[in-house]
Structure formats: structure tokens, C-alpha cells
Amino acid sequence: MKFYFLWFFLFVFFLASCNSSDKTQRDHSLGLDDSIILEMESELKILENEIILLKDHFEFLLENRDSILQKADRTKYSFDGGYSTNTPQDSENLSSVVILNTTNDFDKSMESVLITNSMDSLFKNSLEKYGIIAQVYYNAIDQVSRVFPPYDAKALLDLNIDVTAFNFFYEGDFNHNPAKGAKWIPEVYVDPAGRGWILSLVHPVLLDGELYAVLGIDITVEEIFERYLENKKGEYLIVNSKGDIVGGNSGAIEALSFPPLLNHVYRETILSDNYRVSDYNLFNSKNKEVREMAKSIILKKEKFYQFKDEFSPEAAYAAPFNLLEWYLIEIEPSL
């Protein structure tokens, strides 16, 4: 009789183990629906066409510099030192224009401002066509910066910087962009103006075959997340190749044992004074399981990770982006 009960117990245990294994395998085989990524990137690809249109018009202006300068409206902008005096409240049609102290010839740079004034209307049109765009701008070799919509340049931009030293310029130069086409900057950054993580698309502008300026289109990662993931069922993260969380809902972030979010909102946390990027990096997590997940997904390029710790979520499913060095991760919570 004892032998019968022992055999029955082992048989039941075997069936339970098989069912559990089948469930894990079935979940694993489903993977992450990468159609979400394809949908995101299809809109981003459209912006590549948009920045090419802006580039073509910009180069047309440069090629017709002399004739445009003769007819230029010299009253459109007034300047206080290197800053245009218009404020965001003054006009919906003007950019913030700055001539930096690092220019070799202030008067020559002012001529470039006059020649490119018609870019304002094109910048505005781009924003109106694509709600995903946060701002459009260019920075030039002659240290002219034009940004639309306008912002408080005096408060946020130091006149003594060299715009060519920043990645929004040099990522578009011939060394970093030998194809001389549209390029997504690999690294996102936290915007000092308070819009969270920013993704940038740039394109060089040529004058007589040489680099004159770099056009840029900025997108907030929050806008991408809200458009495509906010209403999706599930807990999602977007991380870059360094393991930084650049977007995510509270359920996913808090399930991975990161510091509590301000009002359970990641964007509000990013904007807080004590926010540190390193605190929300998968590789820096205090949880060993989260660090192992990061290695599995980012370093080993695996699309599935099974958590082992009973205090961790059940599993993570991942898919890489194609245009960007990002990963979309769905966190499956514990049952």
C-alpha cells in the first residue's frame, strides 16, 4: 500500500512539472509583439523624409544667398546682444535665434540669419504636420542657432558655447555621418527645459560641398510612449543600449525594484531635482535578477528572460528596435 501511494505521489508531481514546463514554453514561444516597434518606427521614418525637405529648402537659400539678402526683411527680428528679443508669448511664427560669442564675424552671422528667416515657416509647418515633434532647429558653422518653437534662450543658452562641440551638431558632420543623410543620434538626453528624455534626428546642410549647418528634429520619448504604449495592456519599458530606462510605465519600473516614482509617474521623477539617470539603469540595479535580465537582453540579445527569485516578476520579453539602439521590454508580473 505504501508503494502505491509513493507511486501515485510521484506520478502527480511529474504531471504538475510537465504542465508548468509547458506553460513556460508556451509563454516563451509567444515572445513580444514587435508590431508595436514597427508601428513606432514607421512614423519615425516619415520624419526622415521631412528633414530632407527642410534640408533641400535650406540649401536653396544658401545657393541664392546674394539675391535673398537684397530683399531680406531686416525688421523681422531685433537683437539684444546675441539673443533675438522675441519671447514665446510674442509670436507663434518666430523662432528663437541666437548668434553666439564664438562666431568669427558677427555681421556675417547676422546676414545668415536674414537669409534663413524663411525657415521659420517651414519649421512651424513641420510641427503642425507631425504632433510627435517637440522642436525643429538648426545650428551652423558660423555659430547661429535657430529653434522653433521659441524658448527662453537667455535663461537656457550660454552665449559662450561652441555649437559645433555638441552631439546635435557633430553627429551630423562628415566624420560621424559619412553618408551625409538623415541620422538618428544614438544617445538620448534629459532636456534641461523640462521635457524629459529627448530623441534627435539630424541632417547635414551643405554649402559648396562643405558642411555649413546641421538641421535637427527633436522628439520627446514620453510622446512616443504615450502614443504607442500608454493604452496597451501590459507593463512596458524602453531602455537604451546602456541600460538606461528612457520610458516606461510605473508598473514595469516598480516591479523591478527601482526607487519609488514621484506620484507613480516616471516623467515627474525625471524632472525632480534629485533624479539621477544611474538610479534607473538596469545594470546598476541592486537586484541581481534585474542585472541578469539586462545582460541577457542587451548583451546576449536574448528575447526572453525567466526570473528565478520569488520576489521578482515572472518573466521579461524583449525586442530590439531597428532604427535606434533601444529595446522594448514587457514585464510579466508574478501570478
pLDDT at 144: 97
pLDDT at 31: 66
CB-based contact 54:136 (threshold 8 Å): yes
Closest CA to 196 of 145, 125, 260, 244: 244
pTM reported for the whole predicted model: 0.85
Alpha carbon distance 185, 201 (integer Å): 6
CB-based contact 328:32 (threshold 8 Å): yes
pLDDT at 29: 52
Give the list of residues 6+ apart from residue 152 with CB closer than 8 angstroms, or none.
87, 88
pLDDT at 11: 44
Give the list of residues 6+ apart from residue 175 with CB closer than 8 angstroms, or none.
none
pLDDT at 30: 57
CB-based contact 220:196 (threshold 8 Å): yes
CATH numbers and ranges of domains, the chain: 40-220 (3.30.450.20), 229-332 (3.30.450.20)
CA dihedral 127, 128, 132, 133 (to 10 degrees): 0
Alpha carbon distance 311, 203 (integer Å): 47
Tens place of pLDDT per residue across the chain (335 aa): 544 444 544 444 444 444 444 434 435 555 687 888 999 999 899 999 999 999 999 999 999 999 999 999 999 999 999 999 998 887 789 999 999 999 999 999 999 999 999 999 999 999 999 989 999 999 999 999 999 999 999 988 999 999 999 999 999 999 999 999 999 998 888 876 677 889 999 999 999 999 999 999 999 888 888 888 888 888 999 999 999 999 888 889 989 989 888 876 787 888 777 788 889 999 999 999 999 999 999 999 999 999 998 777 999 999 999 999 999 999 998 87
Half-sphere exposure of 318 (CA within 13 A, CB side): 27
Give the list of residues 6+ apart from residue 139 with CB closer than 8 angstroms, or none.
145, 163, 164, 166, 168, 169, 213, 214, 216
Alpha carbon distance 21, 16 (integer Å): 9
